[in-house]
Amino acid sequence: MSGDLQAQFLQAKDDVVKLSKAPDNDVKLQLYALFKQATEGDYTNGKKPGMMDFVGKVKYEAWKKHEGTSKEAAMQQYIDLVAGLKAADA
């Protein structure tokens, strides 16, 4: 993994919390899923969350959509998404 990509990813992680306005829930979910894929890879926590765990289920489904995406590609997508948010926030 490129150290430059890792540095950009960590910077994006820091930048997203400095936005003047928090992203909407859909964007937060995208950020969550890309972050998890970039840092942990494919979902491997065993079974998916139960029916009554609504938040857990939504997070699981968002992360699962990125299954098979390399950690590097997920990092780049996360960086690009944060860059777009920063540009819109300017």
Predicted local distance difference test score (pLDDT) of residue 71: 96
Domain count, the chain: 1
CA-CA-CA-CA torsion for 61, 63, 68, 69, nearest 10 degrees? 140
Domain with 64 in it = 3-89
pTM value surpassing 0.85: yes
The pLDDT confidence band at residue 1, using thresholds 50, 70 and 90, is low
Which CATH number do you get for residue 76?
Answer: 1.20.80.10
The pLDDT confidence band at residue 44, using thresholds 50, 70 and 90, is confident
What does the DSSP assignment read for the chain?
A: --HHHHHHHHHHHHHHTT-SSPPPHHHHHHHHHHHHHHHH-S--SSSPPPTT-HHHHHHHHHHHTTTT--HHHHHHHHHHHHHHHHHHH-
3-class secondary structure, 90: coil
Residue pLDDT, tens place only, 46-89: 778 888 999 999 999 999 999 999 999 999 999 999 999 999 98
